[in-house]
Amino acid sequence: MLITATTAWPLSARLAVRLIAHGCQVHALCPREHALSTVTGMGTVRRYSGLDSMRALEKAITAVHPDIIVPCDDRAVWQLHDLHARRPDLHQLIESSIGHADSFARVRSRAELMAAAGEAGIRVPETRIVRSPDDLSGWFRSRPGGAVVKLDGTWGGRGVQVVASEREAVEAWARFTARETPGTSLKRWVIDRDPLAFWARQSHQAPTVSIQKFIPGRPANAMLAAWRGQLLGLVGVEVLCTQGPTGASTVVRIIHHAEIERSARELVRGLGLSGFHGLDFILEEGSGAPWLIELNARCTQLGHLILPGQGDLAGMICTALGAAGSARTELPIDREIIAFFPQALAWNPDSPFMQQCHHDIPWTEQALVRELLRDPWPERLWLSRLYNRLRGTNTKSLPKVVNLLRVAALERQSRGSVMAAPVERMPDSH
C-alpha cells in the first residue's frame, strides 16, 4: 500500500499502524517530519520535494508499485484525479483505490453529490449552486431560516459557514469567491512548508459555492470500506465534541444506524466507490432521522478503531486485497464513547466525557505518541513562530496533557491491558 498525506493529520499514521498489523507492506508519501516516519514497520517514507508535488507522487508510485493507494486528505484525492487524467496506464490502480472515474466530478462538487444522493433515495437537504448574490436573494425569499454556505475544494471545516440571513450569506459568498493572491501561496510554501502550495494555485479552478438548507440536529459521521462498488463495512459515530463549530470531531459515541448503513451502501454502489470514504450526517432534532450533508472521498479518523464483533475497517480492505493477517492483535474498544488522541486533549480537556471514554492512544507506538504530542513540524520552526506572533495568531496547545495521559494509563492498567513504558513529558516549548 502507498499512503499519501499532504497534511499533518494524525489519521494517516493511525491507519498505517493497523494496516501493518494486518500484514500489509505500507509505504508513504508525505511532507517532511511527518508522524508516519515514527510508525514501527513502515516501508519507505518518501518526501514531497521541490515545487512539483505531482512529480513526487508519480515517482513514489513507480518506486513502490502499490496494489492500492490510500489518500488521507482531500488534496491527495484531487491529485489522484489529475493523475488519472494524465496517465492512462494508472487508471486501474487509481480506480481500485478511490472508485470509478465517472464519480470523480460528483465527489468534488458538493451540489452534484447531493443531487446524486437524492436520486438514490438518500435523505439530503436541498442544495443549490450560487453563481451570484441574486441567487442568494432568491433562496432566502422562498426559504426563510438558516442555511449553510459551502465552498468546493475546502476541507477540515474551512470554506463552510452557517448563516442566518441573506446578508451573512452574501458576505460568506464574497469571501469564498475572492481570488487568492500569489502572496498566499508563497506564505503557505515558506511559513507553512506546504508541499502543495503552488500546485493548489496552478490547478485552481473557478470557485464553486453552494448553499444548503440548515438541518437542526446533532452531527454524525461514518467511515466506510469498499471494494469496487461493494460495501465491506462501516463505522458510525455521533459527534459529541468538535474542533470548533464546523471542525473535525474530537469525542464521539459509537452508533449503529440502519438508515446510515443503507445510505452508505447506495452511494458505494451508485458511485462505484472503492477504498476508504467518509460520510457526514445530521441526526435531525426530534426525529433522529439522518440527513447526508457531505462525502469525503478519503479515509477519516475512524478507520483504525477495533470494534467488538467487527474488527477495523483497515482489516476489511486488507482482506479484500488478500493480505495475510499477522499474529499481533489488540483488544476491541469496550466503551461507546471515544476521545481521539491528541485532538480531544487539545480542544476539549475539560469535557465531562473525558472521564468516561476510551482514550484512543496508541500505547504500542511510543515514538508516535511522542510525536503527536508535539506541534506539527512547521509550527515548531522559528519563522512560523515569529509569523504567528506578529499576527497575534493563537495556536491550540495541549493543556493538562500529562494528567490526562496518566488517567488514560491507569484506565488501561485497570483493564489488564499490556502497555509500553510511560510517555515522557515533552518540553514546554513543544
Q: Are 200 and 115 in contact (CB under 8 A)?
A: no
Q: Which pLDDT score, from 0 to 100, does residue 429 have?
A: 32
pLDDT, one tens digit per residue, over 114-155 is 999 999 999 999 999 999 999 999 999 999 889 999 999 887
Burial degree of 229 (CB within 10 A; 0-12, 13-18, 19+): middle
Q: Which of 90-99, 237-246, 406-415 has the lowest mean pLDDT?
A: 406-415
User: In one letter, which amino acid is 396?
Assistant: K
Q: Do the domain assignments include residue 280? A: no
Does residue 208 sit in the same domain as residue 135? Answer: yes
CA distance 234 to 223: 6
Task: Provide the pLDDT confidence category of residue 74 given band limits of 50, 70 and 90.
Answer: very high
Q: Do the domain assignments include residue 16? A: yes
> What residues form DSSP beta bridges with 234?
224
- Average pLDDT for 162-183: 90
Does residue 8 sit in the same domain as residue 93? Answer: yes
Q: Which of 41-55, 179-193, 351-365 has the lowest mean pLDDT?
A: 179-193
Does residue 141 sit in the same domain as residue 195? Answer: yes
Best-predicted range by mean pLDDT (223-237, 315-329, 391-405): 223-237
Q: Does the pLDDT at position 43 exceed 70?
A: yes
Q: Do the domain assignments include residue 268? A: no
Structural domains of the chain, count: 3
Q: Do the domain assignments include residue 315? A: no
| Average pLDDT of the chain to the nearest whole number | 87
Q: Which pLDDT score, from 0 to 100, does residue 394 have?
A: 61
Closest Cα to residue 306, out of 345, 335, 341, 343?
335
Task: Look at residues 192, 213, 234 and tell me which one is the last residue of a structural domain.
Answer: 213
CA distance 16 to 19: 5
Write down the pTM of the prediction: 0.89
Q: Are strands 275-284 and 217-227 parallel, antiparallel or unpaired?
A: antiparallel
Structural domain for 85, as ranges: 2-98
Does residue 349 sit in the same domain as residue 421? Answer: yes
CA distance 337 to 255: 10
Q: Do the domain assignments include residue 329? A: no
Q: Does the pLDDT at position 202 exceed 90?
A: no
Task: Look at residues 193, 213, 233 and tell me which one is the last residue of a structural domain.
Answer: 213
Q: What is the CATH number of the domain that holds 33?
A: 3.40.50.20
Task: Look at residues 179, 213, 247 and tell me which one is the last residue of a structural domain.
Answer: 213
Does residue 140 sit in the same domain as residue 86? Answer: no
Task: Provide the pLDDT confidence category of residue 406 given band limits of 50, 70 and 90.
Answer: low
Contacts with 204 (C-beta within 8 Å, 6 or more apart), sequence order: 180
Does residue 205 sit in the same domain as residue 139? Answer: yes
Task: Provide the pLDDT confidence category of residue 420 given band limits of 50, 70 and 90.
Answer: very low
Q: Do the domain assignments include residue 83? A: yes
Q: Do the domain assignments include residue 130? A: yes
Q: Do the domain assignments include residue 198? A: yes
Task: Provide the pLDDT confidence category of residue 350 given band limits of 50, 70 and 90.
Answer: confident
Closest Cα to residue 343, out of 244, 425, 253?
244
Does residue 85 sit in the same domain as residue 149? Answer: no
